[in-house]
C-alpha cells in the first residue's frame, strides 16, 4: 500500500530542526506495496523468512527456487519431485531453439538479453497455460520458465561461438546444466558450487526495478510471460542487471590502461582520473544498502577460492578489484554491490561477459514469478500519481 512522501525538491525536518531537500525521484524511500516473498533491510536480505547468508551456506539453488515458487522449504521428497519435474521440462521446443539460433547468427549486434527476451516471448505461444492466471497454472508456467531459460541462454552462446546448441544434461543440477549448455563442458565441483551460490544470491530482491516492472505489468491481469518479458527488458539496463557486465569491463579497462602505461600509471591514478572525468564506476553503491551489500562479500569469498586454485592469472583480477574497492571506500565512502565480485567471478570461470545478465535471469526468474503470482492472487492495478510540472492552463486559440 502506498504511503505519502514529500514531492521532489521539497523539504523535510531534521532532528536539529533544520530542513533538507528530499529527492523522491524513482520512488526513493516510498513504500508501494506489500509482499511475503522477500525483505530487504540495511543489514539483512531474507527470502520467505530465511536470511541470505544462511541460504548461501546451506541450501542449493533448487531448494531456494522451491522456497520462492512453492512458498515453503521443501522436504526431501518434495525436493526430489521438484528437481525431477524441472529436469523433465528443460528441452526447448525446436521452433524456439531454431529462432534463437537464427537471431544470434543473423543479428551479431543483438544483445543476448534481447535474444532471451524474444525467446521467452516465443515460449509463450507454445505454453498450454499461457492465458491461464490461476495459481496452479501459474506455478506450472513458472517451473517451465525456470527449466527452459538456460536452454535459450545456452543456444545463444553456442551459436555465437560457431557451434550447435546442446541438449540439457539430466545428470546435472540447474547451475551446472546452465554452464554445460553455454560451454559444452561439465564444470568442476567448485565452479558448479560457485555458480549455484551466485544464483541463490541473485534469485530475489523485493521491489527492484525489474520485479516492480513485472508486478506492474501483471497488475493489468495480463499473462506471466508478458510480465517476464518486461522484467527482462528492465534487467537489461546497465543501472540494474547489466551492472555486472559493466563492472568487469571497467576492470578490463583499468588493466589495459595500466599495461599500456608501462609503469607510469597505477590504480590510484586511474581512479583519480575517472573521478575527475566523472566516469560512472559500475558495481558500486545501492539504493538500500548504504553500508555495504552483504551479498558482495559472500560471492567475493567464493570467487577468490577459485582464483587461488587457478593461479596468478585469475588472482590478479581480485587483487585489482580489492584496490578499486579500497579507493572507492576511501574517496567516496561507497561500498561494492554484488555485481562487482560477480563480474570478476564469472570472468575467471570463462563466461563471456555479455552472458552475465542472462545468467541473472536464469536465477531471478524465480523471484519474478513468485511476485507475479503474489500480485495476481491479491490484485489491484498499479497506477501511481504524478506531480505535474508543465505549463499552467492555457487556451489553444487564446
Residue ranges covered by each domain of the chain: 38-238+359-377, 243-348
In this structure, are strands 38-40 and 50-51 parallel, antiparallel, or unpaired?
Answer: unpaired
More confident residue, 15 or 84: 84
Which CATH code for domain 243-348? Answer: 1.10.230.10
Render pLDDT for 241-275 as a digit per residue (tens, 0 to 9): 778 888 899 999 999 999 999 989 999 999 999 99
Residue whose entry in the numeric block shows the C-alpha cell 525538491: 9
CB distance 120 to 225 below 8 Å: yes
Q: Is 23 a catalytic residue?
A: no
38-238+359-377: CATH topology: Citrate Synthase; domain 1 (1.10.580)
Residue 2 has pLDDT above 50, yes or no: no
Render pLDDT for 282-301 as a digit per residue (tens, 0 to 9): 888 766 666 778 888 999 99
Angstrom distance (rounded) from CA 209 to CA 240: 7
CB atoms under 10 Å from CB of 272, counted, come to: 13
Band of the pLDDT at 171, cuts 50, 70, 90? very high
Instruction: Single out the catalytic residue among 286, 294, 371, 376.
Output: 286
Instruction: Single out the catalytic residue among 240, 255, 257, 322.
Output: 240
DSSP letter, residue 336: B
Band of the pLDDT at 31, cuts 50, 70, 90? confident
Render pLDDT for 196-253 as a digit per residue (tens, 0 to 9): 999 999 999 888 899 999 999 999 999 999 999 999 999 998 877 778 888 899 999 9
Angstrom distance (rounded) from CA 214 to CA 193: 29
Q: What is the mean pLDDT of the chain?
A: 91
CB atoms under 10 Å from CB of 5, counted, come to: 15
Residues 6+ apart with CB under 8 A from 107: 115
Band of the pLDDT at 85, cuts 50, 70, 90? very high
pTM of the model: 0.89
CA angle 162, 168, 173 (to 5 degrees): 125
138's grid cell = 501459474
Render pLDDT for 305-335 as a digit per residue (tens, 0 to 9): 999 999 999 999 999 999 999 999 999 998 8
Angstrom distance (rounded) from CA 19 to CA 80: 57
Angstrom distance (rounded) from CA 201 to CA 103: 30
Residues 6+ apart with CB under 8 A from 165: 92, 97, 100, 101, 151, 154, 155, 158, 159, 181
Helical pair 243-261 and 339-348, crossing angle rounded to 10 deg: 70
Q: pLDDT value at position 147?
A: 98
Angstrom distance (rounded) from CA 372 to CA 229: 12
Q: Work out the average pLDDT over 8-16.
A: 40
Residues 6+ apart with CB under 8 A from 179: 185, 186, 187, 191, 192, 195, 349, 351
Angstrom distance (rounded) from CA 395 to CA 398: 5
Q: Is 125 a catalytic residue?
A: no
Q: Is 339 a catalytic residue?
A: yes
Band of the pLDDT at 396, cuts 50, 70, 90? very high
Q: pLDDT value at position 130?
A: 97
Render pLDDT for 120-170 as a digit per residue (tens, 0 to 9): 999 999 999 999 999 999 999 999 999 999 999 999 999 999 999 999 999
Q: pLDDT value at position 48?
A: 97
Per DSSP, helices labelled H in the chain are 52-58, 61-70, 76-88, 94-106, 112-126, 135-160, 174-183, 189-202, 209-218, 224-235, 243-261, 267-276, 294-310, 312-332, 339-348, 356-377
Residue 15 has pLDDT above 60, yes or no: no
Render pLDDT for 98-133 as a digit per residue (tens, 0 to 9): 999 999 999 988 999 999 999 999 999 999 999 999
Angstrom distance (rounded) from CA 346 to CA 355: 9
Backbone angles phi, psi at 196, to 5 degrees: -60, -45
Q: pLDDT value at position 71?
A: 97
Amino acid at each position: 500500500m502506498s504511503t505519502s512522501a514529500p514531492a521532489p525538491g521539497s523539504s523535510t525536518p531534521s532532528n536539529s530542526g533544520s530542513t533538507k531537500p528530499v529527492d523522491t525521484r524513482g520512488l526513493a524511500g516510498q513504500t508501494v506495496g506489500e509482499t511475503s516473498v522477500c525483505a530487504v533491510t540495511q543489514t539483512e536480505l531474507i527470502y520467505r523468512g530465511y536470511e541470505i547468508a544462511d541460504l548461501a551456506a546451506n541450501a542449493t539453488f533448487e531448494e531456494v527456487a522451491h522456497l520462492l515458487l512453492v512458498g515453503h522449504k521443501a522436504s526431501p521428497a518434495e525436493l526430489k519431485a521438484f528437481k525431477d519435474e524441472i529436469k523433465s521440462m528443460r528441452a526447448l521446443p525446436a521452433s524456439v531453439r531454431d529462432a534463437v539460433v537464427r537471431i544470434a547468427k543473423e543479428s551479431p549486434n543483438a544483445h543476448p538479453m534481447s535474444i532471451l527476451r524474444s525467446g521467452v516471448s516465443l515460449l509463450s505461444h507454445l505454453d498450454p497455460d499461457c492465458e491461464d492466471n490461476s495459481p496452479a497454472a501459474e506455478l506450472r508456467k513458472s517451473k517451465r520458465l525456470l527449466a527452459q531459460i538456460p536452454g535459450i541462454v545456452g543456444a545463444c552462446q553456442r551459436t555465437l561461438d560457431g557451434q550447435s546448441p546442446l541438449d540439457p544434461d539430466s545428470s546435472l543440477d540447474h547451475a551446472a546444466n546452465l554452464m554445460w549448455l553455454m560451454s559444452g563442458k561439465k564444470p568442476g565441483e567448485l565452479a558448479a558450487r560457485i555458480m549455484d551460490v551466485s544464483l541463490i544470491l541473485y534469485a530475489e530482491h523485493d521491489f527492484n526495478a525489474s520485479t516492480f516492472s513485472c508486478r506492474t505489468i501483471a497488475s493489468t491481469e495480463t499473462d506471466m510471460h508478458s510480465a517476464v518479458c518486461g522484467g527482462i527488458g528492465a534487467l537489461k539496463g546497465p543501472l540494474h542487471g547489466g551492472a555486472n557486465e559493466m563492472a568487469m569491463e571497467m576492470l578490463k579497462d583499468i588493466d589495459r590502461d595500466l599495461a599500456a602505461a608501462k609503469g607510469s600509471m597505477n590504480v590510484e591514478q586511474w581512479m583519480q582520473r575517472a573521478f575527475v572525468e566523472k566516469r560512472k564506476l559500475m558495481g558500486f553503491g545501492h539504493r538500500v544498502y548504504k553500508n555495504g551489500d552483504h551479498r558482495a562479500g559472500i560471492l567475493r569469498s567464493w570467487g577468490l577460492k577459485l582464483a587461488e586454485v587457478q593461479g596468478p592469472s585469475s588472482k590478479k583480477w581480485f587483487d585489482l578489484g580489492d584496490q578499486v574497492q579500497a579507493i572507492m571506500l576511501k574517496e567516496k565512502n561507497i561500498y561494492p554491490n554484488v555485481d562487482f565480485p560477480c563480474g570478476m567471478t564469472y570472468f575467471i570461470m570463462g563466461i563471456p561477459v555479455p552472458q552475465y545478465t542472462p545468467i541473472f535471469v536464469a536465477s531471478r526468474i524465480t523471484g519474478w514469478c513468485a511476485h507475479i503470482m503474489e500480485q495476481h492472487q491479491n490484485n489491484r492495478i498499479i497506477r501511481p500519481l504524478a506531480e505535474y510540472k508543465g505549463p499552467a492552463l492555457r487556451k489553444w486559440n487564446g
